[in-house]
Every structure is written in structure tokens, then in C-alpha cells.
Structure 1
């Protein structure tokens, strides 16, 4: 299933169904028909977020069904990301399978350095000329301003300390930072292991406060695309 298809389903589940029904036991029952008791695990996961151990966190993500093949990004977001890259060095934080890195390499074949980061890189498709680094987003093993463009897609919604993560992304970005998150509402019973929910573009702008002078924040098919130019003295 691609991102465009799931975004259509998200419209039905998040906007068309009234909140009273969306949070009801009836919805949980119907959701169990598709995902079984994993729906209940997701509820417990969010309720216990401040108290989860690293093993519990990793365990749920290991068992979580993979919805999208290759990437969580839509074609529209991928195209916008590729257009927005500046400079000769790029780092994709939360690279997953490496699918976005392939698009970046195809769109910018002359890049001097292309790096993918994830806390588990076993799923990454090895591409010649791309380095893979295992690391947590909250503690990136790079120097200040090490990459011209830093990209982070469909990660911030999973991070409990998301402001710490955003600060770390800004630290290693020299010229531009690009972030993509789903535009979604929080409900008790959901099909994803998200901690943070941003129903509007301005909801995400509050999350990245303070916003620099030069930025873009827009909706692309139920995903929020955010780009900022780093201050010269950052």
C-alpha cells in the first residue's frame, strides 16, 4: 500500500468518523478484526509513554505491521524534498529502508556526501556511495553544522522528547532542515505507534518554535512539509 492510499483512509478514520464513535469500544472491536490485539498494545503504548523501557519501545516497533512498502513518504513529499535540497552534503535521519535516499541520489547525482541514519539500519538497502550510521536522533554522532541539508521524515511523531530531537537536527544542519510529519488527530484507538499529533500546520509550527525568518510549512496530501533555512550564525 502506498502513502496516497493510506492518506485517503486516514481522511475517513480521522475526519469523517465522529470523535465519539472513533474513541468508542465499537471502533476498537472493528479495528481488532483487522489488527487483532495489537490495537490494544498501541493504546497501552501511548498511555505508558513516559514510563516505557527501551526494550518495550523497541519491541513494539519490531512487532508493528509494516503498512507501506519502502517509504512512508508520498510522491508529492518526495518531489518537494528533492527540490528543496541545497548544498553538497545531505543527511537523512530516520532513513528506514533507504528508499528516500535513492530518490535523492537520482535527483542529485553529483552530491558529495549522502548519509542515512537510523537506530536500526538492517533494513536499509545498501546503495553505493551512501554511508549508513546507526544512531538515535536525540544523540547524532556528528559535528555542529556537518551537513548542508538535514532531512527527517515521519520520525518526530514517534519521539517522546521531540523538542530535543528537533534541536539535535538543527545542530547538525548548516544550511537547511527539512521535516515531514503526518497531519493527523489523536484518538484513543489508532493504527500507528505515534506519541505526537499535529492536526494543523500551525500545530507543527508550535512544535518547532522558535521558527526562523525563512521557512516553509504546508500541507501535502495530509502530510506536513516543513523546511527552514538555518541562520548564518547557527
Structure 2
């Protein structure tokens, strides 16, 4: 299933079904027909978010069914990300299978460094010319301003301390930071292990406060695409 299909399904489930039904035992029963008891595990996972151990966190993600083949990004988001790459070094934080890295690499042959980061890189397709690093987004093992462009797609919604994660992304980005998150509402029962929910573009802008003057935040088919210029911020700090 591709991202475009799941976004159409999400429109029906999130926008057409009333909240009283979405949070009901009736919806849970119907959802269990699709995903079995995993739908209940996800609900408990979110409820216990502040108390989860790192082992519990990793265990759920290792056993979470992969909905999308290759990447969680839609074709429209991939196209926009590729267009916004700036500089010769790129790091994809939360690279997953590495599918987005392959698109970035193909569209930017002049890149001198391409890095993929995830807390588990076992299932990443090892691409030639790409280095893979296992690390948590809240503590990235890189120097300040180490990469020209940082890309982080469909990760922030999974991170409990998302402000610390965003601070780390900003720390290692020299020119540009690109983030993509799903535009979605929170309900008790859902099909993903998300902690953070952004129903509007301005909801996400609050999450990335303070927002620099040079930024873009738009809705691309139920996903929020955000891009900010880091180089200008560094120049203002030095002035």
C-alpha cells in the first residue's frame, strides 16, 4: 500500500467518523478484525508513553506491521524534499529502509556525503555511497552544523521528547532543515504508534517554536511539509 492510499483511508476514518465513534469499543472491535490485538497494544503503548523503557519502545517498533512498501512518504512529498536539498552533504534522520535516501541520491549526483540514521538500521537497504549510523534522534552523534541539509520524515510524531529531537536536528543542520509529519488527529484507537498529533499546519508551527523568518510550512496531501533556513539564523547569531 502506498502513502496516497493510506491518506485517503485516513480522510474517511479521521474526518468523517465522529470522535464518539472513533474512541468507542465498537471501533476497537472493527479495528481488531484488521490488525488483531495489535490495535489494543498501540492504545496501551500511547497511554504508557511517559513510563516506557527503551526495550519496550524498541520491541513494539520491531513487531509493528509495515504498512507502506519502502517509504512512508508520498510521491508529492518526495518530489518536494528532493527539490529543497541544499549543499553537498545530507543526513536523513529516521531513514527506515533507506528508500528516501535512494531518491535523494539519484536526484543529487553531486552530493559528497549522504548519511542515514535510525535507532535500528538492520532493515535498511544498504546503498552504495551511503553511510548508516544507529542512533537515537534525541542524541545524534554528530558535530554542530555537520551537514548542509537535514531531512527528517515521519519521525517527530513518534518521539516523546519531540522538542529535544527538533533541537538536535537544528544543531547539526548548517543550511537547511526539512521535516515531514502526518497531518492527523488523536484518537484512542489508531493504526500507528504515534505520540504527537498535528491536525493543522499551525499546530506543527507551535511544536517547532521559535520559527525562523525564512521557513515554509504547507499541507501536501494530509502530510505537513516544513522547511527552514538555518544558514540565515547562524548569520544573525554572529552579527
Q: TM-score, normalised by structure 2?
A: 0.97
Q: Deviations over 1:29-76 (max 9, x none)?
A: 000001111111011000000000111111111111110000000000
Task: Give the Cα–Cα distance (whole angstroms) in 2 for the partners of residues 60 and 121 of structure 1.
Answer: 16
Residue aligning to 2:210:
210
Task: Give the Cα–Cα distance (whole angstroms) in 2 for the partners of residues 80 and 102 of structure 1.
Answer: 15
3-state SS, counterpart of residue 126 of structure 1: coil
Using the TM superposition, give the Cα deviation of residue 164 of structure 1 relative to its aligned residue in structure 2, in angstroms: 0.1
Residue aligning to 2:51:
51
Answering whether residue 112 of structure 2 is matched by residue 106 of structure 1, we say no
Using the TM superposition, give the Cα deviation of residue 202 of structure 1 relative to its aligned residue in structure 2, in angstroms: 0.1
Q: Deviating runs (4+, > 2 A) in structure 1?
A: none
Residue aligning to 2:79:
79
3-state SS, counterpart of residue 57 of structure 2: helix
Across the aligned residues of Structure 1 and Structure 2, the Cα RMSD in angstroms comes to 0.7
Residue aligning to 1:61:
61
Task: Give the Cα–Cα distance (whole angstroms) in 2 for the partners of residues 59 and 100 of structure 1.
Answer: 24
Residue aligning to 1:42:
42
3-state SS, counterpart of residue 139 of structure 1: coil
Q: Deviations over 1:132-154 (max 9, x none)?
A: 11111001010000000000000
Answering whether residue 161 of structure 2 is matched by residue 161 of structure 1, we say yes
Using the TM superposition, give the Cα deviation of residue 228 of structure 1 relative to its aligned residue in structure 2, in angstroms: 0.1
Using the TM superposition, give the Cα deviation of residue 94 of structure 1 relative to its aligned residue in structure 2, in angstroms: 0.3
Using the TM superposition, give the Cα deviation of residue 116 of structure 1 relative to its aligned residue in structure 2, in angstroms: 0.5
Q: TM-score, normalised by structure 1?
A: 0.99
Using the TM superposition, give the Cα deviation of residue 232 of structure 1 relative to its aligned residue in structure 2, in angstroms: 2.6
Number of residue-to-residue matches in the alignment: 234
3-state SS, counterpart of residue 28 of structure 2: helix
Task: Give the Cα–Cα distance (whole angstroms) in 2 for the partners of residues 139 and 60 of structure 1.
Answer: 21
Q: Aligned runs of 1:101-180 on 2, under 5 Å?
A: 101-180=101-180
Gaps of 5+ in 2: none
Residue aligning to 2:234:
232
Residue aligning to 2:95:
95
3-state SS, counterpart of residue 58 of structure 1: helix
Moved more, 188-197 or 53-62: 53-62
Q: Deviations over 1:124-171 (max 9, x none)?
A: 111111111111100101000000000000000000000000000000
